[in-house]
Amino acid sequence: MQADVVVLGAGMVGVSVAVHLQKRGRQVVLVDRRQPGEETSYGNGGLVQREAVFPHAFPRDIAELRRIARNRSVDVHYHLSALPGLAGRLFRYWWNSEPGRYAAIARDWFTLIATCLDEHKALAEEAGSTELLRPVGFLRAFNDTATMDSELAKAERARAFGVNSAALTPAALGELEPHLNNGFVGGLHWTDPYAVNDPHALTMSYFELFRRLGGEFAVGDAGMLRRGGAAWRVTAADGTEVEAGEAVVALGVWSGAVTKRFGYTPPLFGKRGYHLHFKPKGNAGLTRPVASNGFLLAPMRAGIRLTTGVEFARPPAPPTPVQLARAEPIARRVFPLDEAVEPEPWMGIRPCTPDMMPIIGPAPTQPHLWCAFGHAHQGFTLGPTTGRLLAEMMTGGVPFVDLAPFRAERF
Ligand SMILES: Cc1cc2nc3c(=O)[nH]c(=O)nc-3n(C[C@H](O)[C@H](O)[C@H](O)COP(=O)(O)OP(=O)(O)OC[C@H]3O[C@@H](n4cnc5c(N)ncnc54)[C@H](O)[C@@H]3O)c2cc1C
């Protein structure tokens, strides 16, 4: 199978890169060990997060660090055994979260986030899936006024980045989401984000667009990537040889395992997250996702999706969904949840870098090898943006956002 480009990894990022290259006349083969969109891009909160202009920083407040260190919270959990291996990368993450450095990072990060609604809308229009981009935003509901005041102040700062929001009294919160149990001191409505109630369907719609444009898909292990003369080669699971002049690594948190073999070792680390769907009781429903108490409740086609915050674990460690167990009783007080839909929770891994920014551009150690990974908490949001940027760069165009801050050489 001959192609101009082989894209490794068919999550939201890889599919978006593949479709943008194919649109620009490149013949692309997309390779994944599973079917498209079945890993982290499958089970996320489904938010296209125009409001996320401040990337997730490492906490620097001592009281907050103490709370997390106790390892009993809903929002963060860690395996002690994971910490020695992660220490260097977490230290750099902490260092980059110092207010001065963080402000500079947030300015660069904003240049990507600012484009997310337009880039999703453009792809979804071509793919015929605009009905999945629901312009309803999402809510944060607060238990205490101190947290509410500090989050409202953050929302005011975000206005300078073109982010819209509205503070909500308990009554206004109840009007927007009548089935939420009251008892909150108030809320915040981020009004810009799209809420997607089937993230997998959105990725699949972009994948189908890729196929309609003539792109091909093969099941295969990216670990088989090798040089064959000037070309890249991968042997697909059915034995087919895929050969292409350029290769793109878009393997999410697994990207480093492949680039390392070609001399580039990015300091990626994973933040695991879980979800479980519940049937709503009676006629209860949510119009949009609601974040509170360290978890998110998102209305999905499959049910009400309860998603958790962050877990640090060694890559091979089996799932430990303790945060779901902690969140579920609280979630039941917040919203009338009935029985769980699945017997086991789903787990995904956010691909993170110590400076909170993705790696987009050529690999520094090999010609014709490209990187598109490290989107952390917002890879579902930024897939189409990254796809367009990388495709523009690879086809000799001028990327519509300056890619210098995201280049691989910074690590
Ligand atoms: C609980 C949770 C909630 C989240 N909520 C949101 C949200 O609301 N909004 C948002 O923007 N983001 C959210 N995220 C983050 C987002 O889901 C990720 O950033 C995004 O899915 C990453 O996409 P990706 O394409 O880089 O990686 P993935 O979707 O993980 O895709 C990587 C692909 O590589 C393939 N692969 C890996 N190794 C190999 C190999 N050796 N050979 C072949 N194929 C391989 C995998 O099968 C997979 O298909 C959330 C994440 C979690 C865990």
For 345-364, the pLDDT digits (tens) are 999 999 999 999 999 999 99
Q: What percent of the chain has pLDDT over 90?
A: 98
pLDDT at 282 over 90: yes
pLDDT value for 316: 87
Report CA(200)–ligand 1 centroid distance (Å): 11
DSSP string, 164-197: -EEEE-HHHHHHH-TTS-S--SEEEEE-S-EE-S
- Whether 295 has a pLDDT exceeding 90, the answer reads yes
Q: What is the pLDDT of residue 94?
A: 97
What is the pLDDT of the chain when averaged over all its residues? 97
* Ligand 1 geometric centre to CA of 121 (Å): 20
Question: Does residue 311 register a pLDDT over 80?
Answer: yes
Amino acid sitting at position 317: A
Task: Express each pLDDT in 231-280 by its tens digit.
Answer: 999 999 999 999 999 999 999 999 999 999 999 999 999 999 999 999 99
Q: Is 11 in the pocket of ligand 1 (CB under 6 A)?
A: yes
Q: Is the pLDDT of residue 182 over 90?
A: no
Give residue 404's pLDDT.
97
Tokens of 159: 């206005």
Q: Are 57 and 356 in contact (CB under 8 A)?
A: yes
| pLDDT at 229 (0 to 100) | 87
Q: 372-387 in b/e burial notation, b at 16+ Cβ within 10 A?
A: bbbbbbbbbbbbbbbb
Q: What is the pLDDT of residues 54-89, one digit of tens each?
A: 999 999 999 999 999 999 999 999 999 999 999 999
Kindly state if the Cβ of 39 falls inside 6 Å of ligand 1.
yes
Confidence class for position 398, pLDDT limits 50, 70, 90 = very high
Could you give the CA distance from residue 345 to residue 347 in angstroms, rounded to a whole number?
7
Count of C-beta atoms within a 10 Å radius of residue 409: 12
- Does the CB atom of residue 384 touch ligand 1 within 6 A? no
The two structure tokens encoding residue 24: 């620009």
Of ligand 1's atoms, which has the minimum distance to the CA of residue 379? Answer: 19
